[in-house]
Amino acid sequence: MIYELDNHQFHRCRDLVNRGVNIEEKAIVEGINPGRIFVDHIEKPRSGLIWQGNHDGFIFVGDSRNEAFNQDVKRYVDEAIAFEAKAQGLNWFECIGNHSSWYTAFHDIFHDKKLDSWDQNVYMICPDTFNAIGKERHQDDEFTVAQLTKELLHQGTIENVAFAITKILDCWESEERFFEQGMGYCILHNQSIVSICMSGYRYKDVHGIAIETLPSYRGRKLAYKAASYFVDHCFARGYRPYWDCMEDNHPSNAVARNLGFVKEFWYKGYMFKLRFASLYTPTSQKP
């Protein structure tokens, strides 16, 4: 049986996520970032599935050799999650495991699916490396750097506020939650936000970076500039920046390395096309 936990029960999964190295699942379990958690046992979960709050992916945590959970969660994905994902406009099931033993388990759990995979890189940076090669912070007449604040977004002078708010709500429950727990910088051009670097996730003193530049402004090192201010802000407050990107996202990897980030580890992600059955009969219970 698969059970969905209420938010106040998420702490019961701390032991499951603390075994992993990624920060996303820890941030969700601690209630910093939004998400949903499905487990095999309400009081003492042995294995779990975390649905990230932006509906963008799933994280398997805990014991990858829990046969009962693996069988039940496969059915739950097919019969319940697939329908909810469709309602959110998702056509692919994308998942990672919080330790490498899940890689083999995914092939067993989803043996009837056509699994594709990708590699993900995680970078960290220390102040000495950043100060040596990453601090090109000059202003110019065409582009200006601004801290992402409530006042900036709501003063009425920014023409494309929706770009920043959408980015924030992709990762956070609300703007208020972001400004309480996260931070960010943006690049302005003619009163429009054209590049943004912000906290996507936070776990303790670690801030996971979310970064985006509008397509028509890419190739001008604006992401580099925004990230430089973000990293400097982190170090000034004793925070640790955390950069996570796909292996084949060459521009993102290049920006990270140019700033002085060093690759700490990599992990694999898996995905398959969602298929929707004609009938759905709920099989899980929510406590």
pLDDT of residue 278: 43
Domains (ranges, CATH) in the chain?
Answer: 3-119+269-273 (3.40.630.110), 126-260 (3.40.630.30)
pLDDT of residue 129: 87
What tokens does 113 get?
A: 């699916």
pLDDT of residue 132: 44
Mean pLDDT in runs of 10 for the chain (287 residues)?
97 94 95 97 98 88 97 95 90 95 97 97 94 53 92 94 96 96 97 97 97 96 94 96 97 96 97 71 44
What is the dihedral sign for C-alpha 15, 57, 37, 62?
A: negative
What tokens does 83 get?
A: 């329908």
Residue type, 247: E
Query: What span, in angstroms and rounded, lies between the C-alpha atoms of 252 and 126?
Result: 18
pLDDT of residue 282: 40
pLDDT of residue 131: 57
Query: What span, in angstroms and rounded, lies between the C-alpha atoms of 260 and 43?
Result: 44
Contact (Cβ atoms closer than 8 angstroms) between residue 86 and residue 280: no
Instruction: Identify the three-state secondary structure at position 66.
Output: coil
Residue type, 235: F
Return the closest-CA partner of residue 245 out of 269, 270, 273, 217.
269
